[in-house]
Structure 1
Amino acid sequence: MGVDEPGLPTLHEWAGGSDAVRRFIDAFYDRVERDDLLAPFFPGGVSEAHRAHVAAWWSEVLGGPTTYTDELGGYEAMLAHHRDLGITSDQRHRFASTMSLALDDAGLPADPEFRAAVIGYVEWGTRLAMHNSQPGATDVVEHAPVPRWGWGVAPPYGG
């Protein structure tokens, strides 16, 4: 279920669609592979399949096609990928800041409204992932829809 923002483009549309989201994810993982703090999560590099799956997740989160839910296991699959990783606070922060840099690398829109919405999701999602990744984590939401993120309080600026 998407957010109800009638008359506004989805974040996915504003970003430039699935091709733009894939550029963003590739730019992110290109940085991750060179990062001493994050690269250990991906021994041997980030596979094409992983990049494609994460791009599908992000496309869905931003209001695009529901491929991750329909074909790749939805929220439960993403939760399973993060269990027992033991993500540290430093790793979470590096992940989030690297996401911001990758938005620039990929040439996604730089307007503050779009960036605030995307980074809002990054902060929310990485904090959940960090919590859910701790061995023995409690209060983990086991079943949920893939989140559908919207503009929140700052829709695209119309001039």
Structure 2
Amino acid sequence: MVRETIRHPLGPVFDSRSRVLILGTMPSPASRAGAFYYLHPQNRFWPVLAALFGEEPPADNGARRAFALRHRIALWDVLARCSIEGAGDASIREPEGNDIAGLLKKAPIRAVFATGQTAGRLYHRLCEPAAGIPAIVLPSPSAANCAMRPETLVERYRVILPYLTGP
């Protein structure tokens, strides 16, 4: 696979009602091509969230954005730039963090979640000192984490629910 330097092409998804920020590492080639988060066909992020709320997975980017915002979920990634091979988190080199602290000044985020160990480690090192909120690490919804059953992923993602309620 070819190593390339990627500058994050997607802006954060959030609004004044967002309570939870879910962070990946960097958009996959499929997500970059489709211009939205978690678009690799085998990624289970959208089916897991849909199951969590008893809904059908959103079918297009507009529906995905509306779904996230309706449920008070903000989306972004830890990295603003990195060198990477394909979508493999293990291949990330020269990481530069996104301005998570700046986003937290614009939205009433109560909790930050990272989708996978690498996103959690990079957030802790690059973003948490300025953001001031530790990330809770969720299992990766990636197909690379296929050993975890979908039902188990849904159960593990339930930890976000208490942060979504209230004013």
Shared fold, TM over 0.5: no
Instruction: Give the structure with the larger strand fraction.
Output: 2
The normalised TM-score by structure 1 is 0.31
Tell me the TM-score normalized by structure 2.
0.30
